[in-house]
Amino acid sequence: MKPEIHPKTYRLVVFKDMSNDYTFMTRSAVETKETTKWEDGNEYPLYKLEISNKSHPFFTGQHMLVDTAGRIDKFKKRYAQKK
Protein backbone atom coordinates (compact mmCIF):
# COMPACT_ATOMS: atom_id res chain seq x y z
CA MET A 1 0.00 0.00 0.00
CA LYS A 2 1.27 3.47 -0.84
CA PRO A 3 2.00 5.71 2.13
CA GLU A 4 0.34 9.12 2.54
CA ILE A 5 -2.53 8.59 0.05
CA HIS A 6 -5.43 8.48 2.51
CA PRO A 7 -7.01 11.69 3.83
CA LYS A 8 -6.32 12.72 7.40
CA THR A 9 -9.62 14.57 7.86
CA TYR A 10 -11.97 11.70 8.77
CA ARG A 11 -14.83 12.82 10.99
CA LEU A 12 -18.41 11.80 11.77
CA VAL A 13 -20.79 12.80 8.97
CA VAL A 14 -24.56 12.34 8.65
CA PHE A 15 -25.72 11.06 5.24
CA LYS A 16 -29.35 11.69 4.24
CA ASP A 17 -31.19 9.92 1.40
CA MET A 18 -33.37 12.67 -0.08
CA SER A 19 -35.82 10.23 -1.72
CA ASN A 20 -37.04 8.74 1.57
CA ASP A 21 -35.45 10.79 4.41
CA TYR A 22 -33.36 7.82 5.64
CA THR A 23 -30.31 9.07 7.58
CA PHE A 24 -27.22 7.34 8.89
CA MET A 25 -23.95 8.46 10.40
CA THR A 26 -20.47 7.19 9.61
CA ARG A 27 -16.89 8.42 9.46
CA SER A 28 -16.02 10.17 6.21
CA ALA A 29 -13.72 12.76 4.65
CA VAL A 30 -16.41 14.15 2.32
CA GLU A 31 -16.63 17.95 2.06
CA THR A 32 -19.94 19.41 3.26
CA LYS A 33 -21.47 22.87 3.60
CA GLU A 34 -24.52 22.01 5.70
CA THR A 35 -24.94 20.68 9.23
CA THR A 36 -27.74 18.87 11.02
CA LYS A 37 -28.64 17.92 14.56
CA TRP A 38 -28.29 14.16 15.18
CA GLU A 39 -30.24 12.00 17.66
CA ASP A 40 -27.65 12.61 20.39
CA GLY A 41 -28.27 16.39 20.23
CA ASN A 42 -24.92 17.28 18.63
CA GLU A 43 -24.39 19.08 15.30
CA TYR A 44 -22.68 17.08 12.53
CA PRO A 45 -21.87 17.81 8.87
CA LEU A 46 -24.68 16.75 6.50
CA TYR A 47 -24.19 15.16 3.07
CA LYS A 48 -27.31 14.66 0.93
CA LEU A 49 -27.62 11.53 -1.22
CA GLU A 50 -29.99 10.91 -4.12
CA ILE A 51 -30.06 7.17 -3.51
CA SER A 52 -28.97 4.75 -0.77
CA ASN A 53 -29.46 1.10 0.10
CA LYS A 54 -32.93 1.96 1.49
CA SER A 55 -34.14 3.34 -1.85
CA HIS A 56 -32.12 1.42 -4.46
CA PRO A 57 -34.23 -1.18 -6.32
CA PHE A 58 -31.53 -3.86 -5.99
CA PHE A 59 -31.70 -3.74 -2.18
CA THR A 60 -35.43 -3.05 -1.80
CA GLY A 61 -36.66 -5.58 -4.36
CA GLN A 62 -38.98 -2.94 -5.78
CA HIS A 63 -38.62 -1.05 -9.00
CA MET A 64 -39.04 2.68 -8.55
CA LEU A 65 -37.80 5.59 -10.61
CA VAL A 66 -35.91 8.24 -8.67
CA ASP A 67 -35.25 11.28 -10.84
CA THR A 68 -34.99 14.08 -8.30
CA ALA A 69 -32.63 16.27 -10.29
CA GLY A 70 -34.13 15.78 -13.77
CA ARG A 71 -31.08 13.81 -14.85
CA ILE A 72 -32.82 12.27 -17.87
CA ASP A 73 -33.97 15.66 -19.16
CA LYS A 74 -30.50 17.13 -18.61
CA PHE A 75 -28.96 14.25 -20.59
CA LYS A 76 -31.39 14.62 -23.49
CA LYS A 77 -30.91 18.37 -23.57
CA ARG A 78 -27.12 18.14 -23.49
CA TYR A 79 -26.82 15.52 -26.24
CA ALA A 80 -29.72 16.60 -28.45
CA GLN A 81 -28.89 17.13 -32.10
CA LYS A 82 -28.71 20.80 -32.92
CA LYS A 83 -30.82 21.63 -35.98
Top-confidence range, 11-20, 26-35, 50-59: 26-35
* Residue 61 confidence class, pLDDT cut points 50, 70, 90: low
Residue 5 falls within a domain, yes or no?
Answer: no
User: Is 0.85 surpassed by the pTM of this model?
Assistant: no
Q: Does the structure show a pLDDT above 70 at 63?
A: no
Residue range of the domain that includes 42: 11-78
* Residue 12 confidence class, pLDDT cut points 50, 70, 90: very high
Residue 83 falls within a domain, yes or no?
Answer: no
Name the E strands within the chain: 11-17, 22-28, 34-37, 43-49
Count of domains in the chain? Answer: 1
Which pLDDT does position 69 carry in this prediction? 63
Of 43, 7, 45, the closest CA to residue 26 belongs to 45
